[in-house]
Structure 1
């Protein structure tokens, strides 16, 4: 499966379009509502330019944060974003490999990143996330998910300004219910899809 995220042009094109994706800020707002403002440690998987983590930090300035990504362009952008924040550590990491041992976290978040790995890896990654959360820790995954029909997929692509034939070849989309069931099987509680618009969905679970 081709993955274009090591390409500077691909990463920069995504950053250029990110703010124009319809309803994205709605999903981010719901995610922000779920993460307690008292959290002490946050892990951001696939941080990109640090957009989501920056939003989280606004009301959680006390939090120690780790931001993971593997795209050189994204890593450069994230390091620029957090250059003046000693509480944020940006780390190069490819999700195809097991998560590094960075200690326990009160919140683990991700935004449009996990759909780039295989379904088998998604499942094992969710287990690794569960293992790294503290009791009552929260996992919030604002994700690109599969549509139930080709017609709805085409509708989503049109809505975000893409043709179906221009879809990112590294996308490995999976339906919401399969992923929610995995989270429940792993042991997460209060698992649900907290927000959804076409192929954008917020999946949330709590570690008991």
Structure 2
């Protein structure tokens, strides 16, 4: 992940959470579906939040699973400092300042690996490598849940996605400076089509990879690790 991205998110760390509902037109459903999908895991003890930022997504999981250990990894020190303030006094929360595109995760440790609006910053090659690392970091029957933005499968759909989001931001109560800052940050994004990412997950070894929610280019997709199915498919 580039230094430019790290600097961009350090710069907005103070306003990040307040801006989320204004920048995400489907905010409640986007995070709500992400959280609801975790119901498919019977026992959640360890969660890894990739690109955790200020801990907004982790906060939802911490409320739902108060006894779970949650590890937040992010490249931005300023964003993680906000997360540390958010979870002050909670000894179930751990922090790792690192580039999640290159750091190695402990194998077979996590029941859930989650991510919110982070992985689209990686090159497509690094996305594929990360999906493989996530697969190995999960326990058998663990799940990866990703709430992210995707590129349109065609130029037509991409144009609609881009214009819808831009019009939403322009109509929001953000200041003019905040709107322009958002438009500049999105230039750093490297979005990939949804279907390609689902294929990359299957290529990484996941037995199930599906999209469960979509609002224009905001999607929630998930993949399940099932060692029995995978072993059977190899025989």
Q: Normalized against structure 2, the TM-score is what?
A: 0.81
Deviations 1:20-44 (A, max 9, x none): 2211220111111111363000000
Match of 1:168 in 2: 186
The 1:165–1:64 alpha-carbon spacing in structure 2 relative to 1, beyond 3 Å, is closer
Match of 2:13 in 1: 11
The 1:128–1:41 alpha-carbon spacing in structure 2 relative to 1, beyond 3 Å, is same
The 1:87–1:37 alpha-carbon spacing in structure 2 relative to 1, beyond 3 Å, is farther
Contact 2:71-2:93 at 8 Å conserved across structures: yes
- Answering whether residue 43 of structure 2 is matched by residue 34 of structure 1, we say no
Q: Secondary structure of the residue that 2:203 maps to in structure 1?
A: helix
Q: Give runs of aligned pairs for residues 111-150 of structure 1, distance below 5 A.
A: 111-147=116-152, 148-150=157-159
Deviations 1:175-198 (A, max 9, x none): 100001111122212311110111
User: CA separation in 1, counterparts of 2:137 and 2:105?
Assistant: 10
Deviation at 1:4? 3.6
RMSD: 2.0
Match of 1:178 in 2: 196
- Answering whether residue 81 of structure 2 is matched by residue 76 of structure 1, we say yes
Pairing partner for 1:154 from 149, 163, 172: 163
Match of 1:192 in 2: 210
Q: Which has the larger radius of gyration?
A: 2
Normalized per residue, which structure has more helix? 2
Can you give the 5+ residue segments of structure 2 that lack an aligned partner in the other structure? 171-178, 227-235
The 1:102–1:48 alpha-carbon spacing in structure 2 relative to 1, beyond 3 Å, is farther
Contact 2:138-2:225 at 8 Å conserved across structures: yes
- Answering whether residue 95 of structure 2 is matched by residue 90 of structure 1, we say yes
User: CA separation in 2, counterparts of 1:189 and 1:97?
Assistant: 24
Q: How many aligned residue pairs are there? A: 208
Contact 1:2-1:170 at 8 Å conserved across structures: no
Q: Normalized against structure 1, the TM-score is what?
A: 0.91
